[in-house]
Amino acid sequence: MRRLFAFQAAAATAPTTSTVDGLESVLSGEEAAQLRAALSSLPEKTREAVTLRFTWGLEPKEIAEVLGVDAGAVRVRLHRGLALLRERVGADSLR
């Protein structure tokens, strides 16, 4: 429950437009759908970190506070998450 409140507090200060919602402006509909599917297939802890970083624009230190983990763990989750997304979507699409 504490984690939910921390997320809500972080979300209150986050940008009002979502990066994920704006994918169609940068990617084709098919590419955006492929990226969404790949994101949803990530392990939950990894997906949380990636979503907080790229949708809400939080820094690793802020994500660590929200998730109640060390900032180093967040950086590892982000690194692994991006590697998995590149593998699943294709490296050329995410550069």
- Which tens digits make up the pLDDT trace of 55-77? 899 999 999 999 999 999 999 99
Q: What is the DSSP string of 35-67?
A: HHHHHHTS-HHHHHHHHHHHTS---HHHHHHHH
Grade residue 34 by pLDDT with cuts at 50, 70 and 90.
Answer: confident
pTM equals 0.70
Whether the predicted pLDDT of 23 surpasses 70: no
pLDDT of residue 90: 81
Asked if residue 56 lies in contact with residue 11, where contact means CB atoms within 8 angstroms, the answer is yes
> Between 57 and 21, whose confidence is greater?
57
